[in-house]
Every structure is written in C-alpha cells, then in structure tokens.
Amino acid sequence: MPVALAVHGGAGSPPEREYAERQAAVEGALAAGWERIEEGALAAVMAAVRFMEDEPVLNAAVGAVLNREGEVELDAAVMDGSTLRAGAVGAVREARHPVDLARAVMEDGRHVLLVGSGADRFAHQAGVETCLHSVFVTDRQRRNWNERFGADTVGAVAVDAEGRTAVAASTGGVTGKLPGRVGDTPMIGAGFYADDAAGAACGTGQGEGFMRTLLCYRAVAEMLPGLSAQTAAEAAVSYLSDRVKGLGGIILVTPAGEVAAAWNTDFMSWASRTG
Ligand code: ASP
C-alpha cells in the first residue's frame, strides 16, 4: 500500500519575510514524521507535531500566541482512523507537549476531551512531561501580542502501509483570544478527523468557522464517494468561505495515499511525502 504524510504549519497572513522560516520548520517536521512512518500513521503524525511544538516560529507550545491577558493556553488533538479513538485537550498550560497529553487522553480511553486545570492535573497523573508556563512564552509573541490575527496551528495527517490513517494537531489558538477560549483544533470533526474508510483531515485558520461548519468531518465525509482528495479539500475551503466567510486551510490524505491541500489565506506552510 502507498504511504503518505502531509504536515502544515498554519494558514494566515504572516509577513512575507517569515514565509521561508515557517516552510523550513514544516519541512523539518515532515522529515521527523517520515522517519517514523514504518511504525504506523499514528507514530508519524505524533512525531511531526511534536517537532513543530518545539519550533518557536510556529503557533504551538513554544512560541504559541498569547491570549488577551498575555498568557498561553494550548489546544491539541490526535485521532486514530482505524478505531475512531480520539483524544484532545483544550486551554492547557503545563503540558510540555500538548499533543502528548492528547495522546494520553486517547490511550486512557474514558474521555475524548479534557480542558483547563483538569487536563493539566491529568498530565501529572498520566506521567506526561510538564513544564513552567514561561517555557512557552517567546519574545516574538510578546511583540505580536494583540497586533494582528495570528493563526499558525500545526498539524499532520498520514496513511501507513496497512492503510491506517491518523491525524494530530496542536495550537496556541488565535492572538488576543479571551482567556478560556477553546478553538477548533481539539474539537473532533471541526479541526481534525480521521476514518480509514475515507481519509484524514486537519484544519488551520480562524477556528470558529471550522467549528460552525464541522469542516474536517465534512471534508472526510466528502471523500467517501470516491471524490479526489484535492477536489474534497477545495470544496471544503469553498464551503468555509461561502457559508461562514471563514479563513483558513486544510490538508487531507486518503487511504490510497493521495495527498491534498487547499487554503484561502495569503499563505499556508505545508509539505508532503508519499512512497
Ligand atoms: N484553528 C486555530 C484556532 O482557531 C488557529 C490556527 O489554525 O492557527 O484555534
């Protein structure tokens, strides 16, 4: 079976001088994920997203955008398209790698989404690495605080040699958000979805639009009748624009190893590999 991995570093309108460094970060994540693809789609998307959580030029974990009170609150998710198991966390402040905490929620199996202090406490109980909140706050984001719409969530979708699909995503959300705001990234069907019967999708952009349209579920569901991945990606982004004037982008992978991406913002860093 053909294998495929696609990663994105967020859709938005960053200054043009930042395009190259964002793209370089995404290429690094693709390489990190590809190294693990033989272990399966889930291992590959986890490795790619973990890599981007360490990249200060991207909006996830280290380098995440600041909320209105100048603090970082992080969202992340993971889904296994074979079993439809999923785990997600919202507005967490202590997990060094929020995507690891999402994975721990999924492996625990009792719940799909944990938020806030309860999720942070679960990180300690589950043995997920934690850190001081200050680790996430960079000078760059202090400068950007409340200056412009920032949205550079990171995400990855993959299919492995057994035809198993997976998706993972992580974000600081949107610049200047209200404390307690949770976006689409940890909302199953909105910011992410995977089902081996059709494929996997991961979104980025103004999350409220993705939540109101359940965009990732919509994109995956539209791949079912045999539509090409690129057609499904473009249809999803058109729906986002037309129905709710939403801004953002999406990456998709099919069980047959097809990869697609579409966005309606000035820029989206993304990269893919198939083999
Ligand atoms: N979708 C994310 C959110 O609204 C932001 C992003 O994609 O950059 O939280």
Q: pLDDT of 11-41, one tens digit each?
A: 988 888 889 999 999 999 999 999 999 999 9
User: What's the pLDDT at 183?
Assistant: 96
Question: Does position 227 have pLDDT exceeding 90, yes or no?
Answer: no
Nearest CA to ligand 1 atom 8: 151
234 CA to centre of ligand 1 in angstroms: 19
pLDDT tens-digit profile of 145-191?
655 555 578 999 999 999 999 999 999 999 889 999 999 999 999 99
**Helix H or strand E encompassing 205:** strand 199-205
User: What's the pLDDT at 140?
Assistant: 76
Q: Best substitution site from 72, 75, 174 to test ligand 1's pocket, by max atoms within 8 Å of Cβ?
A: 174
Ligand 1 atom with the shortest distance to the CA of 152: 8
Count of CA atoms in the C-beta half-sphere (13 A) of 137: 15
pTM: predicted TM-score of the whole model, two decimal places: 0.95
Q: Residue 229 in 3-state DSSP?
A: helix
Which residues line the pocket of ligand 1, CB cutoff 6 A? 10, 59, 151-153, 171, 173-174, 183-185, 191, 204-207
Residue among 161, 185, 162, 163 at smallest CA distance from 173: 185
Query: Quick check: 7 and 270 in contact, CB under 8 A?
Result: yes
74 CA to centre of ligand 1 in angstroms: 10
Ligand 1 atom with the shortest distance to the CA of 75: 9
Question: Does position 209 have pLDDT exceeding 70, yes or no?
Answer: yes
Place of tokens 């939403």: 246
Separation between Cα atoms, residue 135 and residue 64, nearest integer Å: 10
Mean pLDDT of 42-69: 93
Task: Single out the catalytic residue among 83, 130, 138, 153.
Answer: 153
Q: How sure is the predictor about 225, in pLDDT bands with cuts at 50, 70 and 90?
A: low
Question: Does position 226 have pLDDT exceeding 90, yes or no?
Answer: no
pLDDT tens-digit profile of 73-125?
999 999 999 999 999 999 999 999 999 999 999 999 999 999 999 999 999 99
Among 61-65, 197-201, 231-235, 257-261, the minimum mean pLDDT is found in: 61-65
User: Mean pLDDT score of the chain, rounded to an integer?
Assistant: 93
* Catalytic residue status for 153: yes
Nearest CA to ligand 1 atom 9: 173
203 CA to centre of ligand 1 in angstroms: 8
Mean pLDDT of 2-12: 95
Mean pLDDT of 195-205: 96
